[in-house]
Chain A
Amino acid sequence: MIKEQTKLDIDNVDVFYGKKQAIFNVDLEIKKNQVTAFIGPSGCGKSTLLRCFNRMNDLIDICKVSGSILLDSVNILDKKLDLVRLRTKVGMVFQKPNPFPKSIYDNVAYGPKIHGLCEDISELDEVVEKSLKSAGLWNEVKDRLNEPGTGISGGQQQRLCIARAIATNPDVILMDEPCSALDPIATARVEELMQELKKNYTIIVVTHNMQQAARVSEKTAFFHLGHLIEFGNTEEIFTSPNEIKTQDYITGRFG
């Protein structure tokens, strides 16, 4: 087995919303080319932590993050960090599919265009095609790239959003409950896709669905009330957890 490389090293992270502390002193290592799942009851801070990885929390005025998060040994919580660079390296897929009100093509081309990643149109075409293929959407939409991205089904929209995130060639993809608005078939497709994508990308997924976490992830972190309760290999977390709280949660006793 290849030695596991650390992609993200989270050290001593606290998050505050105003005076209310949402994350308490979290330490965590995310390994490269793996799927890491964050589970826990609503309001436990898993999404908040996820949104630290691409500094999306900066959009909220009252949100303060302290500690350090190293992405390939660069501290991304550094005030001087270039957010544009960070967010091209760390893509994000949201809870509800949120394609832009543009054509399917323009949705995927959006990132490469604004960053000037492509020299000419043919190169852009290539990137769009490659991204849509990686997202498993190409065959379904190749004949209607000029139709609005909002006109396809929910599951397709979510894969379009994944293609959009891939198009800027990131290292890490953050997924915030990517399947919560999808039906079981669309969910299965996205889960398959995650298995494909982890060959090239590091994936962190927040989910409410414990079966999903068990199915897709190598590592699982369980959060409760802002604390990281337990972190380890998914198999162990789900079969022989060390903590009572973890056991209670995964057996459905609370949450």
Chain B
Amino acid sequence: MFDISLYFIFLLGLSSYYIGKNRAKKNINLITETGGLESHYGMYLVIWTILPAFIFYLIWSVISNYLIKEATLGSIPNDLLPNNLSMQKLFLDSIIVVAKGGSSLSKVPEISVAFYQNFAFYSTLGKSISTISISLISFFIFYKKIDSNVRAKNFLERIILVFLFISSIIAIMTTVGIILSLIVETTKFFQDVTIFEYFFGLLWSPQMALREGQVAAEGSFGAVPVFAGTFLITIIAMALAGPVGLFSAIYLSEYASKNTRKIVKPTIEVLAGVPTVVYGFFAALVVGPFIRRTSESFGLASSSESALAAGLVMGIMIIPFISSLSDDVINSVPQSLREASFGVGATKSETIKKVIIPAALPGIVAAFMLAISRAIGETMIVVMAAGLSAKLTANPLDSVTTVTVQIVTLLVGDHEFDSTKTMAAFALGMTLFAITLILNIYAIRVVKKYREKYD
């Protein structure tokens, strides 16, 4: 139930802006002495009217939600109470459903339902009344305060600081949370599988018995072939995207006329907007079969799902990352360096090779690293085009599997969330995360090193 008290404090807050402003307007001294604006006092009053009451509302909601469950559980007659903890929880849930006007299959005690409804009613009533009173009280206190030389401007600065700080904390905490959950699940995985087997084992076949009595092989979790597949596809992708991206960036920034650039650059950037699913079926349905036919005509054994197909299409996908970023950094090399080079009689290509590329190197390296991270983490294309079997091979015509594909196959479908198989996905995810993190840190260091040297 969304409370009327929230509407009330919102409306009171809205009007308090004008009230605070008017109050400040009547008190000319205040404005001249504190150097604030009338609107600062409006905002000052708004914040004091809404914020304390709202925080109180949230705290009450959380606490009462906890209390109501405990109390309702206590109200259930002893003979009806299940002895299993998770069953108790289910029972409580159905009581709550009934209390809110729904229906439940299991029979629930009337007394508890009534208890819940009573508790909820009084809790909401108390919450609304106290929220509104807090809002009103603090409105009046701070309305009075506007008279007494309060520096609303500084207060607002502090509020903004707190707001910005909280925003960044949310971002950081999310990252930390994800990493922690990865670490926890990964440690669970390594209780079942040794670190040695995972990092050095050459056999990856995670399909193990889901139920007792089912016929399946013992799971095997050697991650080497999976990572080998990822690296093979990444290398193929970079072998295509690296030169093509860099050369088109050089063409665009150094040779192309303004008009050509105006058309070509956005066109290349369209590639970045194509959904990866589309790349995926392009790889699976067009490029894969084409490569198979071509290689068969040369008498080479091949399958429709090949590392080459996935790698090439992935390469096309990451071209815009490299070309667009490199183009930006090449463009930002100062014109004076070009003139200096031409001034001693260098040709255009000499200038590009010896002056512009070295000067733009940090940015170009950063672009490449970003592209590699993208390629390693890319999922959809490889799911569709690369294959599922984990083979340890360097033959690009063979089908390989990648880390991301394995994570998808491990987690899609029905299975228990505490099986080794599921944990394996977390271990793979953790490793992948570690690799991209190391790549990024390395890229930042390369960039720093050269920037000091070249700026």
Contacts and interface: CB of A to CB of B under 8 A. Distances in A.
Contacts of A96: 336
Interface residues of B, number: 22
A98 interface: yes
Contacts, number: 73
Contact of B355 (A84, A87, A100): A100
A100 to B, nearest CB: 6
A161 B341 CA distance: 11
Contacts of A114: 344-346, 350, 354
A87 B340 contact: no
A88 B350 CA distance: 14
B262 to A, nearest CB: 15
B347 interface: yes
Contacts of A87: 342-345
B334 interface: yes
A56 B343 contact: yes
B342 A59 contact: yes
Contact of B453 (A91, A101, A161, A165): A101
A142 interface: no
A211 B322 CA distance: 51
A94 B345 contact: no
A110 B334 CA distance: 18
Given A84-B345, A100-B355, A94 B340 contact: yes
B21 to A, nearest CB: 50
Contacts of B237: none
B52 interface: no
B454 interface: yes
B302 to A, nearest CB: 47
A150 B455 contact: yes
A150 B454 CA distance: 7
A94 B339 contact: yes
B74 interface: no
Task: Pick the most buried of B334, B343, B358: most chain A CB atoms within 10 A of its CB.
Answer: B343
A54 B65 CA distance: 82
Contact of A168 (B339, B345, B347, B359): B345
Query: What 5 pairs across the A-B complex have the smallest Cβ distances?
Result: A87-B345, A101-B454, A111-B344, A98-B336, A92-B343
16 contacts: A56-B342, A87-B342, A91-B343, A92-B343, A99-B340, A100-B340, A100-B341, A100-B355, A100-B359, A101-B355, A102-B358, A110-B341, A148-B453, A148-B454, A167-B344, A168-B345
